[in-house]
Chains A and B, each alone.
Chain A
Amino acid sequence: MTQLYLFLIFMLVAAIVAVETKSLLGAIIALGAVGFSQAIIFLTLQAPDLAITQVVVETLTVVILIAAILKTTRIDTTKGVLTTSVLGVAFTAVIVVITIQLLRFLPSFGNPIMRVSEFYINNGLAQTGSANLVTSVILDFRAYDTLGEATVLFAAATGVIVVLRKIGKKK
């Protein structure tokens, strides 16, 4: 539990550094620190599937972002505007108050409501034949969701290639 809180505090600090620093390379490294602490938190909470995915995707994201800034600029040149900052702080305060009100309705940490997942845990191996229950959920019980996820990724890749294409672009 202490480990969990330590990594959460580290994630908060790294996220603030990522937003506030002027060097874009430093911001990307801070973002990577957030992602890898998230992976360690997943491992602490005994979710190795998510931890593997988080580590792999975070590595690739950092590499892609560094490839992007090597082509553009390395220094953040945007300047803060006072009214925008005040509005942002006020908006965040409202969101935090609403979230704290809503969080009281969640079940306490470590005691989830096992209404649907109880069925998956009891019948997953018998009905799908897959020893890994996470895979049996994402590719059998909830395969329609995975289809939607694949469509989202397809749309994202198409969008990036359309924006960065060379053929047929106006000079």
Chain B
Amino acid sequence: MKGMTIIVKTITKLIAGLILLYGIYILAHGHLTPGGGFPGGVIIAGSFILFLLAYGKDIVYKRLRKNVIAFFEPFGGFIFLVVALLGAVVGLFFINFLNKGTPLRLFSAGIIPICNIAIALKVGCALFAIFVAFQILGREE
């Protein structure tokens, strides 16, 4: 796959960063506004997929190694489990053991932002891996 025309490439160059930023916003404000780990992770994966579609796999794979996805997908699940087990050490499985802070601030709600980031890593990497599998690994002569 070689990538698309120069129109698509230019538009992608302008838009992909904004999509990534919007995904990070949805993810980081998951405990304040609608959104959270799942949609945030999928939007971030979507910006990578847009880049992959527009520029083709050769240029993207120069920047992004395959091991990155294979590392971060289990890593997100690992953080999620570690947070849950740390709660089990203090008291209960998944207990909110951090300081809750004042509501409606970015750094509040204890473990919930950490869990959001872990879920976003997991979901984003899993969906990106599925797309890469369909796009590149399947049926290639």
Query: Per-residue 0/1 for A41-75: is the Cβ within 8 Å of any B Cβ (1 yes, 0 no)?
Result: 00000001101110011011001100110011000
Give the size of the chain A interface in residues (CB under 8 angstroms): 43
Separation in Å of the B35 CB from the closest CB of chain A?
A: 6
B-side contacts of A68, CB under 8 Å: 134, 138
* Cross-interface CB contact of B84 among A71, A134, A143, cutoff 8 Å: A143
Q: Is the CB of B131 within 8 A of A67?
A: yes
Name A125-145 residues within 8 Å CB distance of B.
125, 127-132, 134-136, 138-140, 143-144
- Is the beta-carbon distance between B138 and A56 smaller than 8 angstroms? no
The interface residues of chain A lying within 8 Å CB-to-CB of B126 are 153-154, 156-157
The distance in angstroms between the C-alpha atoms of A71 and B81, with both chains bound, is 37
Query: B110 contacts the other chain (Cβ, under 8 Å)?
Result: yes
Cα A74 to Cα B101 with chains together (Å): 55
- Contact, CB under 8 Å: B137 / A60: no
List A contacts of B109 (CB < 8 A).
128-131, 136
Show 18 residue pairs from A and B whose CB-CB distance is below 8 angstroms, ordered by the A residue. A53-B39, A59-B46, A60-B42, A68-B138, A72-B139, A129-B100, A129-B103, A129-B110, A130-B32, A130-B108, A131-B31, A132-B34, A134-B36, A139-B115, A147-B84, A150-B80, A150-B119, A157-B130
Q: Are B133 and A160 in contact (CB under 8 A)?
A: yes
Cβ-neighbour of A164 out of B38, B77, B108, B133 (below 8 A): B133
Tell me, in angstroms, the Cα distance from A138 to B112 when the chains sit together. 10
- Evaluate contact between A154 and B36: CB separation under 8 angstroms: no
Task: Give residues in B with beta carbon < 8 Å to A.
Answer: 26, 30-39, 42-43, 45-46, 49, 53, 73-74, 76-77, 80-81, 84, 93-94, 96, 100-101, 103-104, 108-112, 115-116, 119, 122-123, 126-127, 129-131, 133-135, 137-140
Once the chains are docked, how many angstroms separate the CA of A138 from the CA of B39? 13
Q: Do the beta carbons of A135 and B30 come within 8 Å of each other? A: yes
A59 neighbours in B (Cβ, 8 Å): 46
Partner among B76, B77, B101 whose Cβ is within 8 Å of the Cβ of A129: B101
What residues of chain A lie closer than 8 Å to B74, measured between beta carbons? 154
Q: Is A132 in contact with B137, judged by CB distance below 8 angstroms? A: no
**Bound Cα distance A128, B41 (Å):** 22
A98 within 8 A of B: no
The reply to whether B137 and A165 contact each other, CB–CB distance below 8 Å, is yes
Contact of B39 with A164 in the complex, beta carbons under 8 Å: no
Across-interface contacts of B49 in A (CB, < 8 A): 60, 63
